């Protein structure tokens, strides 16, 4: 029994150490990458939000998480996750509608994506280009220009419709005053 517990503890320690080493390696990749000025001008928090760095087709890409806002034709509107857990302003990613991307390890057509899904996004470190990971390693990345983030527009609270009027309140006040007058009149008659 003691030997089994010791082996389990050793195995758990090894797994934790390997995961920690993998995380440190990913974090080191993000710390060591130098984003171009163009990329930083469009995505200033890229170094802090970077999760990993990969090399595809001879280009280095920083890996980020993004939240899907909407899909319209071949345009995906996404918000890249910031280091503090909030999301940046909306940016557009152009794809082919039949393009398939990986969502939770499963290939999904872009047209079938739903708002609020979390996506992985790749941003080239040397050039402001963004891509979604393809459904298979054999498919090339389709990077499109990383547009400047759309400004966040504060939405005003919608005005409630003005369907009620003061006529009902005036009617209620009139009925109340009429009841008081009637009570006063009945009280005077009893006294007489």
State pLDDT tens for residues 94-130: 887 778 887 777 888 888 888 888 888 899 999 888 8
pLDDT given at position 37: 92
Contact 43, 124 (CB under 8 A): no
- Which H or E run contains 61? strand 59-72
Q: pLDDT at position 27, please?
A: 53
Report pLDDT for 29: 76
10 Å CB burial of residue 111 (0-12, 13-18, 19+) is middle
Size of the chain in residues: 192
- Contact (CB, 8 A) for 51 and 65: yes
| pTM for this entry | 0.61
| Residue segments in the chain with a per-residue pLDDT below the cut of 50 | 1, 4-26, 152-154
In order of their start, the domains of the chain are 33-145 (2.40.50)
């Amino acid at each position: 029994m003691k030997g089994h517990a010791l082996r389990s503890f050793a195995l758990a320690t090894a797994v934790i150490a390997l995961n920690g080493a993998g995380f440190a390696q990913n974090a080191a990749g993000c710390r060591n990458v130098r984003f171009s000025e163009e990329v930083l001008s469009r995505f200033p928090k890229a170094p802090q939000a970077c999760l990993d760095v990969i090399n595809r087709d001879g280009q280095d890409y920083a890996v980020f998480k993004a939240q899907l806002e909407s899909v319209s034709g071949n345009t995906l509107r996404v918000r890249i996750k910031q280091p503090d857990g909030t999301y940046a302003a909306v940016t557009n990613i152009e794809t082919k509608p039949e393009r398939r991307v990986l969502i939770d390890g499963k290939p999904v057509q872009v047209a079938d994506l739903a708002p609020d899904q979390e996506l992985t996004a790749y941003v080239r470190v040397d050039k402001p280009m963004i891509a979604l990971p393809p459904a298979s390693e054999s498919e090339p990345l389709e990077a499109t220009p990383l547009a400047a983030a759309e400004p966040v527009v504060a939405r005003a609270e919608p005005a409630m419709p003005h369907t009620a009027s003061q006529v009902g309140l005036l009617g209620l006040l009139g009925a109340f005053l009429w009841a008081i007058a009637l009570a006063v009149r009945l009280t005077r008659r009893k006294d007489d």
